Amino acid sequence: MAEKTLTRMDLSEAVFREVGLSRNESASLVESVLDHLSDALVRGEQVKISSFGTFSVRDKAARVGRNPKTGESAPIPPRRVLTFRPSHLMKERVASGNKR
């Protein structure tokens, strides 16, 4: 499997090539979209991108965990976690190896 990571720079370069904006405008657009997405998640809103998936924030309650090495109990504090649920189309596309 490829060890390539898609970065913000890659996204802005794709916008530059596909849409035809300048490189600076493309980078600004990508930053703006990511800012809107993260701001909505911080507010506790769900972010749904059609044919891609849904990002949401979930509150996890405090619980008692266990150190697997020592078996010692340790409290795990409550926290908020980000979850992603891919759409059926995204699942099928990944499963088929990105064939369109």
pLDDT, tens only, 43-72: 999 999 999 999 999 999 999 999 999 999
Mean pLDDT of 82-91: 95
pLDDT of residue 7: 93
CA 36 – CA 10 distance, rounded (Å): 19
pLDDT of residue 97: 83
CA 78 – CA 88 distance, rounded (Å): 31
Q: Rounded to 5, what percent of the chain is helix, strand, coil?
A: 40, 25, 35
pLDDT of residue 98: 64
Q: Is the pLDDT of residue 79 over 60?
A: yes
pTM for this predicted structure: 0.76
